[in-house]
Amino acid sequence: MRKIQILLALLLFVSIVSAKNNDGWVSLFNGKDLTGWHQLNGEAKYHVEKGEIVGTTVSNTPNSFLCTDKDYGDFILELDLLVANDMNSGIQFRSISKPEVMNGRVHGYQCEVDPSTRAWSGGIYDEARRGWLFTGELNPAAKPVFKLEQWNHYRIECVGNSIRTWLNGIPVAYVLDDMTPSGLIALQVHAIGKDDQPGKQIRWKNIRIKTTGLKATETPDVFVVNLLPNNLSPAEKAQGWTLLFDGKTTSGWKAAGQDNFPAEGWKVEEGTMMAIAKVKGTDIVTVDKFSAFELQFEFNFAEGANSGVKYFVGNGGPGIGLEYQVLDDKRHPDAKAGVVGNRTMSSLYDLIPADKQERFTKGANEWNIGRLVVYPDNRVEHWLNGMKVVDYVRGSNIYKALVARSKYAEFKDFGMVKETPILLQYHNDQVKFRSLKIRKL
Separation CA 253–CA 424 (nearest Å): 10
Q: What is the pLDDT of residue 419?
A: 96
Q: Does the CA dihedral 271-275-276-281 come out positive or negative?
A: positive
Give 209-213's long-range contacts (Cβ < 8 A, gap of 24+). Answer: 209/25, 209/26, 209/28, 209/72, 209/75, 209/76, 209/77, 209/78, 209/185, 210/23, 210/24, 210/25, 210/26, 210/75, 210/76, 211/24, 211/26, 211/72, 211/73, 211/74, 211/75, 212/24, 213/24
Residue-level pLDDT at 47: 98
Q: Which CATH class is domain 240-440?
A: mainly beta
Stretches in the chain below the pLDDT threshold 50:
1, 3-20
Strand partners, 188: 65, 90
Assess whether the region 24-210 and the region 240-440 belong to the same CATH fold.
yes
Residue 391: what are its φ and ψ, rounded to 5°?
-150, 120
- Contact in structure between 199 and 16 (CB atoms under 8 Å): no
First-to-last C-alpha distance (Å) of the chain: 74
Cα–Cα distance measured from residue 65 to residue 16, given in angstroms and rounded to the nearest whole number: 36
Instruction: Give the pLDDT score at 16.
Output: 39
Residue spans per domain, the chain: 24-210, 240-440
- Predicted TM-score (pTM) of the model is 0.93
Q: Domain 24-210, what fold?
A: Jelly Rolls (2.60.120)
